[in-house]
Structure 1
Amino acid sequence: MSDVSILVLVGSLRSGSKNRELAEAAVDLAPEGTTLTIFEGLADLPFYNEDIDLPDSAPAGATAFREALAAADAVLAVSPEHNGTIPAVLKNAIDWASRPFGASAISGKPVAVVGSAYGQFGGVWAHDEARKAFGIAGANVLGDITLSIPGSVVRFAETHPRDDSEVVEQLTAVLAATVSAAREAVAA
């Protein structure tokens, strides 16, 4: 079976982000034959504006992002929750990914959304909103793949997520299911 490429989008730009650490753990736990790559350019995406999204002159950051999406077999979004909803940086990325609508790099691509937040529900509202936005953008949202880790600031205060056996077990299952969906999509 050919290798599977998963593009990882981190919905937090903050240094020391617990969701960044969760994304790093996912990279470390990549199943054999799978490559996870954290996209480092979300901060370089201007706010989506149709006036600057022109076929031959879209901003360089948007072009790089769309090329990375097109090259990936699946997407793993790892996100916190900001004020009860999806962080602006992730929503903006989804907006760029959605164009041209119906023929974008995200169209039909398997997408799983996971993450952690300080609150008692682990960012579940943001994860649900991200799934909704990805679905409207045309992605094949893997709604049955969930992982929302509560209390991230306390839980990971002195422990990296990759050193938390419960998180490793859950994240390993998320990755296996995402890889399976990616292989099904490529085979179809």
Structure 2
Amino acid sequence: MVYPIVKLGDPVLEKPAAAITRFDDELRKLADDMFESMYAAHGVGLAAPQIGISKRIAVIDVTFKEDPEAKIVLVNPEIVHTEGRITSNEGCLSIPEFREKVTRARHVTVRAQNLAGETIEVSGEELLARALLHETDHLNGKLYISHISALKRDLIKRKVRKLMKLGEW
């Protein structure tokens, strides 16, 4: 099932998501639906709050379907190590049409659980590191625009409010 993507302005995006304690068929179905929703929206990562579900689960596929082995599901993820810095353009399915330069760690390690509830560690560099940080931020109620200047962030929010008034958001 493809869920609609929740956009900036929805309160679910700005509050920490609830920890997951049940690892069952319902959770596996949610992960499958999240991949389907992410691909339909042409993204490489998606956190549950972005489809209006305040749970600590995110999916990532930086190959966008090219490598089925590259699909990552993170349940209750926590960043355990970061290293280096890199600045690159970043966007978000919940803030379509906007991209900004964001500085993040070049190398990241995340500890999480898989769909069976087992503890896993996922490490990545460059785009995967960015996706790991970006999706974990979502689960903590943060958007990528929290990493840009207040001036640029306010400009984006003003444009979004204008689009909302016009019924285009």
Same fold per TM (> 0.5)?
no
| Bigger helix share | 1
| Bigger strand share | 2
TM-score by length of 1: 0.28
TM-score by length of 2: 0.31
